[in-house]
Structure 1
Amino acid sequence: MTHQEILKKVEWKDLKNLSFKEMLIENNLTIPWFVLSITLAYFEYYILALPFSAFFFLAGLRQVHNGFHNSLGTNKFLTWFTLYSNSILLLVSIHAVKFNHIRHHKYCLSEEDYEGKSAKMTWYGAILYGPIHMFLIHKVTLQLGNKKYKKNVILELISTAIFITIAFYFKIDYLIYHILIMILAEFLMAFFAVWTVHHDTEETPEFARTQRGKWKNKITFSMFYHLEHHLFPAVPTIKLPELARRIDNALPEIEKKNTF
């Protein structure tokens, strides 16, 4: 079954629109997790801060991922600001990630898909590849991106460098903690954000892996509905559980490989 045939069989266009409440959720999801993690780190409860830092990172990924596909329900400037501000807090140029993610949808798991390279590796190979992955997506964007992308990447990298310099120069321990944890998280992106959802799908790359466990999806902020996302990238993450239900009802014959 082709992608176009799937689009015709599943009702999905109504899911593109966000209510005001949903828009607020998508645009503010990171705030409580960031506040809790930084507060605990400020009082030097670093171990207790770790899970909240992890949830902040995952919520940040969900937020910018929706921004990549213009699914935050906000105007261009606010969407841009979301990507820019998260670049500083997540310690990576989000516009570089965006450039490679859009290419990932276009060239999924081909030689031109730089984001998806770790999908063909072993799980431990994808983990070891993590630092190279982060360097490569910036390099590719600066080489292949248009002037607007390059300008945003440079701005984000400079802003992030200033943030890191301030934290270390003034020895702000809770910010140093945050920086170190975010760097570690970014180095694991090739494994968690690519390998887990795409390994062993090279023959049918448009059919990524997915997750159907209710609680697994709750604790991962619905980020592992990846089959659904690749088939309908314009649908916001908050609507993916409903989209998954519709796909299951309309196309029960589609093989659904589990993420974890």
Structure 2
Amino acid sequence: MTHQEILRKVAWKDLKSLSIKEMLIENNLTIPWFVLSMIFAYYGYYLFALPFSAFFFLTGLRQVHNGFHNSLGTNKFLTWLSLYLNSILMIVSIHAVKFNHIRHHKYCLSEEDYEGKSAGMTWYGAILYGPVHMFLIHKVTLQLGNKNYRRNVILELISIALFVAFVFYFKIAFLIYHIIVMLIGEFLMAFFAVWTVHHDTHDAPELARTQRSGWKNKITFSMFYHLEHHLFPAVPTIKLPELAKRIDEVLPEIEKKNTF
């Protein structure tokens, strides 16, 4: 069954819109985790801060990922602002990530898909490749991106550099902790955001892996409904559980490989 046939069989267009409540959730999901991680880190309780930092990173990925696909329910400027602010807080140019992610959907797991390079590696190879992955997505965007992408990447990298320089110059310990943890998270992206959801799917790249376990989806904020996302990228993350039910009802024959 082709992608177009799947699009015709599954009702999904009604899932594109967000209610005010859903819009507020998607745009503010990161705040409690960031605040709690900073409070614990400020008082030197770094081990207690760590899980909240991890949840901030995960919800930050969810927020910017929805922003990539214009699924935050906000206007163009507010979506841009979300990507820009998260660039500083997550220590990576989010517009560079966006450029490669949009290409990933277009050229999924082909030679032109720079984001998906680690999908064909071993799990430990994908982890070791992480720093190269982060360098490559910036390099590719500056080389292949249009003027707007290049301008945004340069602005974000300068802003990140100024933030990092300020924090280390004044030796602000809890923010130094935050920067280190975010960099570790970014270096693991090739494994967690690519390999886990795409390994062993090269025969049918559009049929990414997915997660059907309720509690696993709760603790990962529905970020591993990746089969659903690749088939219907315009559907916001908050609507993916409902989309998964519809796919299961209409197309139970589609193979659903587990993420973890």
Aligned to 1:8: 8
Amino acid aligned to 2:172 = I
Amino acid aligned to 1:116 = G
Distance 2:185 2:102 in 1: 21
Taking the TM superposition and a 5 Å limit, the aligned residue runs for 1:24-39 are 24-39=24-39
Unaligned runs of 5+ in 1: none
Structure 1 consecutive aligned stretches of length 4 or more whose deviation exceeds 6 Å: none
Note if 1:212 corresponds to 2:212: yes
Instruction: State the Cα deviation string for residues 31-74 of structure 1 (Å, max 9, x = none).
Output: 00000000000000000000000000000000000000000000
Amino acid aligned to 2:209 = R
Task: Measure how far apart 1:112 and its partner are.
Answer: 0.1
Aligned to 1:100: 100
Distance 1:215 1:80 in 2: 32
Note if 1:138 corresponds to 2:133: no
Taking the TM superposition and a 5 Å limit, the aligned residue runs for 1:36-75 are 36-75=36-75
Note if 1:119 corresponds to 2:116: no
Distance 2:247 2:163 in 1: 44
Task: Measure how far apart 1:195 and its partner are.
Answer: 0.0
Amino acid aligned to 1:133 = H
Aligned to 1:230: 230
Distance 2:191 2:38 in 1: 26
RMSD: 0.2
Q: TM-score, normalised by structure 2?
A: 1.00
Task: Measure how far apart 1:249 and its partner are.
Answer: 0.2
Distance 2:201 2:3 in 1: 16
Distance 2:77 2:99 in 1: 17
Note if 1:202 corresponds to 2:218: no
Task: Measure how far apart 1:253 and its partner are.
Answer: 0.2
Aligned to 1:21: 21
Distance 2:162 2:56 in 1: 21
Instruction: State the Cα deviation string for residues 74-127 of structure 1 (Å, max 9, x = none).
Output: 000000000000000000000000000000000000000000000000000000
Distance 1:14 1:36 in 2: 35
Identity across the alignment (%):
83
Task: Measure how far apart 1:217 and its partner are.
Answer: 0.2
Amino acid aligned to 1:50 = L
Task: Measure how far apart 1:248 and its partner are.
Answer: 0.2
Aligned to 2:173: 173
Distance 1:139 1:57 in 2: 23
Instruction: State the Cα deviation string for residues 186-218 of structure 1 (Å, max 9, x = none).
Output: 000000000000000000000000000000000
Distance 2:43 2:202 in 1: 47
Amino acid aligned to 2:229 = H
Unaligned runs of 5+ in 2: none
Instruction: State the Cα deviation string for residues 136-189 of structure 1 (Å, max 9, x = none).
Output: 000000000000000000000000001100110000000000000000000000
Distance 2:181 2:89 in 1: 11
Distance 1:193 1:115 in 2: 9
Aligned to 2:250: 250
Secondary structure in structure 2 of the residue aligned to 1:258: coil
Amino acid aligned to 1:144 = L
Aligned pairs, how many? Answer: 260
Distance 1:89 1:250 in 2: 41
